[in-house]
Amino acid sequence: MARHLLNTCDLTTDDILSIVRQSHSYLVPARSNSDRAQDLAEALILEQPATLIVEQPATLVNRRIVLGFFEPSTRTRLSFETAAHRLGAQTVYFQPTGSSVEKGESLRETLMTIESMGFDAIVLRHSENGVPSAVASYTRMSVINAGEGTNAHPTQALLDASALIEKYGSLKGLRICIVGDILHSRVARSNADVFVRLGAEIALCGPPGLLPAGTLNASHVFDNIDDALRWANVINLLRIQRERIATADQPSVDEYRNRYALTAARLNAFPDVCVIHPGPVNEGVETDQAVLDSRQSLVHRQVTHGVAVRMAVLNHVLHSKF
């Protein structure tokens, strides 16, 4: 029976920690490849960036993975592709443009055709909620959810947890505020689930019209980022799409920046707060380049963790034992 990763809810807390531990085994400090564990601990103290080890265990030789992206993606697609190649798997990139989907073929028939070509797994991104679960119900391939509508983005949550655990050692007692368009964010939902289960306390911050009906287990809801900064250890920014603001019930870009954007001046006033962001960043809206370049930002380190975590996820899904 194929194994899948459709939602963080499919994982036990032990699964999450096992994936993070496995991903960290693929990381060493940039300065050395010797004594991996000791060097990684020292790198955290020295705030040196981690990188991927050069030689990877070829655990997925002869496995074939299709990257089925029905939405545009750069970080997620490339990191899954890199992760698969580092483990020895073969990948094929599928996108609907120019495919039989544009000619009217159903998604089910398209994916059954792909399955018949001998693929072991599909990494699937789709704009509609429920599609990965539906695909998993009829395909013999393993399905890995690479971002689903507004519902879930499990590997983003895992890589964010991995980067934060690298920095802090644990999420227990950590205060993380998710800021931005939480209503439409699959990242917010997956992150909230993982962060809380690993012992963090979360808060939400954003315009009322961009907050969900539920609290996502948040202990606080802030109506401005200044209050959030006073409370948080970590600010988890979300991308703000310009088309979702400046409407009748949402603030303009200027109003949003005045109340919710993480500017360099705001961040500098809280030197112990770190910043994460799933990317891509809409610069000039939720934050600015100076924040991304700050020593308090983990944004680029998240990308490195993205490859390592997706290596661990591919092993988790495609092997009966992790």
**Alpha-carbon span 214 to 206, nearest angstrom:** 14
- Domain residue spans in the chain? 8-153+302-318, 154-298
Q: What is the pLDDT of residue 96?
A: 72
Q: What is the pLDDT of residue 253?
A: 87
List residues bridging with 27 in a β-sheet: 52
Q: Tokens at residue 24, please?
A: 């960290």
CB-CB contact of 205 with 224 (8 Å): yes
Ranges of residues in the chain whose predicted pLDDT is under 70:
1-2, 29-50, 53-55, 97-105, 242-249, 320-322
Q: What is the pLDDT of residues 188-217, one digit of tens each?
A: 999 999 999 999 999 999 999 999 998 899
What CATH topology corresponds to 154-298? Rossmann fold (3.40.50)
Q: What is the pLDDT of residue 72?
A: 87
**Alpha-carbon span 8 to 208, nearest angstrom:** 26
CATH topology identical between 8-153+302-318 and 154-298: yes
**Residue in the structure block whose two tokens are 């939902």:** 189
Please name the amino acid found at residue 304: T
Q: What is the pLDDT of residues 76-103, one digit of tens each?
A: 999 999 999 999 999 999 887 655 555 4
Q: What is the pLDDT of residues 262-296, one digit of tens each?
A: 999 999 999 999 999 999 999 999 999 999 999 99
Q: What is the pLDDT of residue 55?
A: 65
**Alpha-carbon span 35 to 77, nearest angstrom:** 31
What CATH topology corresponds to 8-153+302-318? Rossmann fold (3.40.50)
